[in-house]
Amino acid sequence: MAIAQKKRTKSESFFSEDQLLSLQENPVPHHIAIIMDGNRRWAKQRGLPIKMGHWEGAETLTDAVEAASALGVKTLTVYSFSTENWGRAQEEIEALMQLFSTYLRLKKSSMVRDGVRLDTIGDLSRFPQEVRGAFQSTKEATSHCKKINLVLAMNYGGRDEIRRTFVKMLQENKNLHVNPEQITEDLIAKHLDTMPWGDPELLIRTSGEMRVSNFLLWQMSYAEIYMTEKLWPDFTPKDLFEAIVSFQKRGRRLGEGG
């Protein structure tokens, strides 16, 4: 099955020169996290199989990465498959596995061309070998890319990440006596999946839901949150632009209070 194609050309510009210049007046978030919610509802509203919503959502992600890169965002971390998603129907899970491997195979060359470096967070060990191989191949092919990091959260849960973080810390120090005073926030942060990119400054959630759904629980302590009613397949570069403008208008006091 071919990925659904939207009517656009690769060369078209998402933003005008004036729009790009307007963002330079205030800091653009270096790291944005997105909960890409609404693929299934989008498909159901159109009488389509659920898997078509996921395929359309994958194309929306392609646009989001390109748009984020154009706006100066350096890392985009997206919730692609949660630890809870294994509870979905087997048919849907199999369709998602096909999507992951096919999407990476088809997009690998364009990611290299556009300077998109792929990485993952979470535990990939539960995925089929074909899917793990597709991730490894694309990671290796894009390892030199420096324009933007695309981090896919795969078999990821915030609580599970914190659990794995403490397991790693204990394994590293199993032959050492560690005093409680040595367990600092900085030490924990160094063992989180997101250590290479730091905490997101902005979280975007689509489909109107008002929760973080076990996503980056530690890292979201001071993130600005932007909610939109749009379902993920309907999310456009214009929506990303508006989310960043909203972010720039907020006073980030980082715990200073009202």
Domains of the chain: 27-157+199-249 (3.40.1180.10)
Determine which one of 63, 85, 114, 123 is catalytic. 85
pLDDT score for 140: 98
pLDDT score for 256: 57
Classify residue 47 as left (phi > 0), alpha (psi -120 to 50) or beta: left
Q: How far apart are CA 109 and CA 132, in angstroms?
A: 18
> At 173, phi and psi to the nearest 5?
-115, 20
Q: How far apart are CA 137 and CA 94, in angstroms?
A: 20
pTM of the model: 0.90
Q: How far apart are CA 13 and CA 238, in angstroms?
A: 11
Catalytic, 37? Answer yes
- 121-132 per-position pLDDT tens digit: 999 999 999 999
Contacts of 192 (CB under 8 A, 6+ apart): 161, 165, 218, 219
Which structure tokens are listed for 251?
A: 């006073």
Q: Is 257's pLDDT higher than 60?
A: no
Q: Are 42 and 63 in contact (CB under 8 A)?
A: no
pLDDT score for 253: 58
Catalytic, 26? Answer no
Classify residue 199 as left (phi > 0), alpha (psi -120 to 50) or beta: beta
Q: Is 8's pLDDT higher than 80?
A: no
Q: How far apart are CA 113 and CA 159, in angstroms?
A: 36
Which structure tokens are listed for 236?
A: 């456009």
pLDDT score for 3: 43
In 58-142, DSSP assigns E strands to: 75-82, 116-122
Which residue(s) pair with 204 in the sheet?
A: 34, 226
- 72-86 per-position pLDDT tens digit: 999 999 999 999 999
Q: How far apart are CA 245 and CA 39, in angstroms?
A: 25
Picking from 4-13, 34-43, 167-176, which range would have the lowest pLDDT averaged per residue? 4-13
Q: Is 7's pLDDT higher than 60?
A: no
Determine which one of 18, 26, 37, 123 is catalytic. 37
Question: Strands of 202-205's sheet, edge to edge?
Answer: 116-122, 148-156, 75-82, 31-35, 202-205, 224-227
